[in-house]
Chains A and B, each alone.
Chain A
Amino acid sequence: LSRIGDELYLEPTESGLSLRAVNSSRSAFASFLFAPLFFQLYEPGIAGPDTELFRCKVHMKSFLGVFRSLPSLEKSVGKCLILLKPRASRLVLQLHCKYGVTKTHNLAFQECERLQAVFDTQSCTSRLCAPARVLAEAVVHFPLTLAEVTLGTGPGGKISLQNYVEEAGESCRPSKTMVTQLWLAEDEFQSVAVAPGSHITFCLKEFRGLLSFAEASNLPLTIHFDEPGRPVVFTLDDSVLEVHLVLATLSDLESDAQSTLTNGVSHLPAPSDDFADDLESYMAAMETSEGGSGGPPSPTFSLHTPQPAESDPEEEEEEEEGAVPGTPPHKKFRSLFFGSVMTPGRPGPATTQEVLAEDSDGEC
């Protein structure tokens, strides 16, 4: 929850304690509902005819600070009491530890409105369910700094994940962004019910938080999505816990360029197939658009002191090493250290061996 927002909303309900968070741009919402059975004791309070059950929000950091070091908590804490005292304006967190030690934390809270994102998983056209491990292994290929990822469907029922790149259509990307795409087979999922050709783009950072929780608790993750622009809902379920993460997705209007890319995704042949290599025509276009061939060489590695004047052009043509004066000592060096690995006169165009040619003109 702390990966989403800075404030923790606590909402006791009849069906359990709900902890929620929302991000500042209101594009991500998460809620964890702990059923009464999760707790040793659960008293949500009494709601009157015109008063609702009390709810509040606290600073995320203050709340987390109480549970700072999980390993030591597990060793020393026997019980934890969470008590909401509306009249004292305090949320009390009391840790009952070993040896009769009790740590009481009083957190200031603010009253708040009900925090609820509008979503309905039933109305989503597509649904995927996978073990958290599979999804965790999938996102590991994307850099931690990656903001957005596109989840799509491909031929053969495959599901793809691709980093989202803002690009201006099909022309060459001016920003040298690497595009990473991962394909998962249908049978890696526990269930797949997706509309063909569907895709959504959402923020990976917020999803990673839920994913690590899911992995740690070994629960399968369900992804409910619809058209681009409509939120994607990630859910985790177990007998005492219900988790929802709702993320906004890029609408097709904003992702016009993206749809070019994702159309590419859905029309993509199976990944191992070949793609047309248009490099010959590309190279031809490049070469003809330049002027004549072979302009004067630009000085390269000009910081090096030139070799002694024995670099007779005639002798340079010999590819022999050894006693020939003016042969780059570099090559001689290679035979010193590489021994048989490097043979003199190694294959390759002669031009690459003329490293002493800096002083000569008209190098072609």
Chain B
Amino acid sequence: MTWRSPLALMRDALQGQRARERELRNLVSNLPYEGLEKAKQPNRFFPSNAIKTTKYSLLFFLPMNLYEQFHRMANLYFVGLAILNFIPVVNAFQPEVGLIPICVIMCLTALKDAWEDFRRYQSDRKINSLPCLIYSRREKRYVERRWKDVQVGDFVKVLCNEIIPADLLLLYSSDPNGVCHIETANLDGETNLKQRTVVSGICPLNPGFEPESFNAVVVCEKPNINLNHFKCFVEKPDKDKVGASIESLLLRGCTMRNTNHAVGFVVYAGHETKSMLNNNGSRYKRSKLERKLNIDVFFCLILLLTMCLIGAFGHYLWLKSLPDVPPFLVPDSNGHLDDPSLTSFYMFFTMIILLQILIPISLYVSIELVKVGQIFFITNDMDLYDEETDSRVQCRALNITEDLGQIEYVFSDKTGTLTENKMVFRRCSIMGTEYSHRENAIRLAVLDEPESEEEVIFNQHQQLPRTRWSLEAEGISSIDTHRHGSRHRSKVAANAQSDVAFSSPLETEVIPDQKLLEQISRAESGSGRRDGSRGMDPHLDFFLALAICNTVVVSLATDHRQRVCTSAPSSQTNNPLEAFSNLVKKAGTLFQRKSNRNRTLSEIPVTDSSKTDSRADSNGLQTHSLHPQSAALTAALEDLCYEAESPDEAALVYAAKAYGFILMARTPGSVTVRLPSGEELVFEVLETLTFDSNRKRMSVLVRNPITKEYVLYTKGADYAIMELLGTPYAENISSIQKSIAADTQHHLDCYAKEGLRTLCITKKVVSENEYQRWLGERKRARAAIESREELIMQTSVQLETNLTLLGATGIEDRLQENVPDSIMALREAGIHVWVLTGDKPETAVNIGYACRLLEEEDLVINMSCTNKLACTSILDCTLEEVRRYGEDPRNVDTAPNTSLVIDGNTLAMAMSPDLQGRFVDLAKRCRSVLCCRVTPLQKSGVVKLVREKLKVMTLAVGDGANDVNMIQAADVGIGISGQEGMQAVMASDFAISRFKHLKKLLLVHGHWCYTRLANMIIYFFYKNVAYVNLLFWYQFFCGFSATAMIDYWLMIFFNLFFTSTPPIMFGIFDKDVSAEVLQGVPELYRTGQGKGDYNYLTFWISILDAFYQSLVCFFIPYWAYQGSDVDIFTFGTPLNTTALFTILLHLAIEIKSWTVVHWIIMVGSVLLYFVVTLAYSALCVTCNPPSNPYWILQSQMADPMFYLICTLTTVVALLPRYTFHVLKNSVAPSPLLQGRQLDRMDGSTRDQWIKEWRGFRGGMSVKRYELSDPPSPTLETPADYFPESLTDADLTGDDLSLNVITRNHQRDVPT
């Protein structure tokens, strides 16, 4: 190591800083510099691949952690008080004692932080020492090093199934086509393989790539967070620049698949890699409750200051009233007594120290603990576990559990959220002729009918070995591992057909339409003649387009990919439908009843065991019966696995396959398609214009091997395609084209009405010249480093003109199971449900009815207008209409059943600043709103608007990248880990796997979390106020001198140990109403909405109660001991004891269900109090000068008076609350209490009861209102039956207030 001047070091550091900050980086190979000292390394300024995610280092843990902790106001407050205690004139306790609570709490927090950090350190070390292969010039080969040794500029060789250690620019792949595949599941959860291409022209594709010969400069952009963009070019020694994009970047953390090995040049390492930049920890959100809580803490602060002022003022008056210097006034060490006003000024601060626990110090820590417990229970809920994807619900934001119980507006995406996002090919229209695929529809209907059967299908695969994807479910890792797991499980589920995503039997099997088959075979034979350029029949073209125009990756089971298609017997039968229905029949009869029974509580163990048994049985059954068949029919064809980025593509490819157009292979340069005739055509792929949301289409430019024509196949949304249609061939009769377009449009509209997703398929023949011209532009666009995206898009748009329409497809996106039920439940729970979708209004409305978002009897307002003026007037009209409708006294209850359907354009206008007020007013009055054709930005705009204007709790649920904005804008964001990757999940606060889980998540866990936490916080405030007031009342009898009649230690223990666990337990375990009832009666959810349990009223009532109780706890002992020879601590002991009993029994009144845990903790707290206090007052003779509680409790416990006083005080203190509860429960029982009463019934009675009650409403009459005829006085309305229904309710004797909630239903009965 040579000595270097500090100046040089500084210069170096500056240089490094500049190098890192620069927009473009020039990277060269490290190899020529191998073995040289650090200062000579060209890439020395860029970080190495070693990562460090720890927050602290060993040396600086303490200062840094303290610094972190002092960022919390509460901690600062308590430390300030502790310091105040060190000032002799104001101290209330011995200075050290004042430090204990804050020290304990900060130590606990520090320990927790240290433990987390240590875990991070361990995992960092583990990752940093993972092996990888780096080229060494000295040894002329790739040597094994560790990850942390990787430097920018190194050459790293990655073998198949290895994880990529850093961001690599792909230079060489063992694949002859220069591609390799990576799996990005670790990064974004997307399970399909992504293809990466070697940077062309850098190194010859000969087998022996020589890193040493690499002498180009890699110029790349500054590291950024975007996973899908990368700009870079490689400058060869001859100044020739070759552009490279994300297509050539291997991202750290991805897994190499399908390729034997690949070599990459390290461009970013360590913390600069895209995956690390994307890896930011869990988010911190503040819940509504917490915001409210802070206000109340502020009230407590005011209360505290008031009490201290009273104390200080009282002390002043007391001092003034003394005629002379009494012996009990202790002067300072000089024998000098301070002026009364100065003394009372000091007294103010002493009082703050004495009464400090009025601000609940442990509240924040307790809330955190409670939330940890609540999240534990949420994530462990069996009902929120998805068998199919093996995923539990994930709580990514740790501190907003209780917000789930207060939701008033739910904003939902449609595709993938309400629907499966499993696309099924339903119908198509070719050249203006509709092919209805009736058989296929029947097949789907059969599948659809019994809902439980689908579950059964998935269940069967549970037994398959899935060892290799073993999971590690711990702490922070859960997110990643979950994604990992989910992929695996979906694979398992999909095993039935092939081992790939989007390929459940449902999606992959299409029964061809007979008519179309005939048509094709005719065309086949026709085209067999191959007579010239226009010989291709449009039908053939159509299917060729389906097979070619996509980015589906075909992988073979024999490839290197680990997830090899294991023998999946059921998949390889000759007639899938037959095998399938057989299977369903066999299995269905076995399970159907059992799975129904699953819901009853008591039977679960039984059910479970029997279920697994029978499952095993059926497995055996299945293999036995199907095996012989399947063995005979193992064809290479069936081994094809299609991996698509979007499920639509896969569905289309499978559809083409059903008609014999089988996509055999796809390489960057070619597509192989097998025709029905068995012939395999290899199309040269010249260009792929990928899909983007602006163009709403994608195209593939291929060269037909037979005709040698350049053909562009484009598919896309109908409105994006229709305007690009042209008449490329002059001799073509344009009217035919036009009529085709018109017919197709008609079909498209029909499809949309049925709720199908539509796509148009077009074709364009490009002439040689045109192609060459375009290619030049395309190349220029590619090489541009500035605004490359725009240029590329422009070139795409240039080519996609004058298309010839081939046909259209209708793809069904099936509703997820239990969606209507869940939406119904949410609506009954008083939640406004909004669905925001990019679909057409017709499709959306259809889905809306299907999922019961819109009801037949709803008043549906359809808003769609083209200009703002119209929009304003429509808005005004509608608003007036709805308002009148709602204000009509007889319509009070039916008004919420208004629904609004609005499209994107109108929405944009309605959300303009001058109209948004009216729009929100209208939306507020609608029970459900359906927004169609909205953009992702509009989605978040709507959420923000509603959230800010109406000041309500909003929840957004979505599954795709387009929902991310919305999820982030809402108070609670829920991601559905579905088929569209993980962006939504990454942005969300909670991640679920099915929409139906939302029901239990909100109605049960939301409700529980909210009531638990709200009650706990109220109780916490009460507890502190009650206890502190004891001290306060005593001040009136000790000259306001801030004396505590309880030993300091016992006082601290009281809060820290004796009464700290019960509230936490209360917050974690208490269960007011059982999950079954909460789900059965969604109306109970309304108790949490709006103000909920925790509002000013409940807060102040509990504070008043605390005042009352503390008065009782103080004055009963006071009068009992008045005038006697009682000493301070002997007086304080019964006070402390009654306070303990009162506070614990107060909680006991509030606890709704007592489990073993409750008993242990409550009894344990009391025992702990006595044991600790007894031990303390027996052992501590002079240990805590000047306070000395020696033998006090012992002598008290030998005195019958002690027990008499404690009993009386506790009874008197709790009598009002107890009586109040009893009276309220008896006279005006709350809905929750009625829910609890339902709970007490045995299972069957309750179910029957709920069912009857449900049926009551289900059978309500269907009313239909049209907007055109607003309700007139003469119109028959349910209100006519109002008096009658009252007596009705009385007669039936059913619970009154349950009916009150749903009065409208009750009222509807007679109609």
Partners in one complex: no
B-binding residues in A (CB < 8 A): none
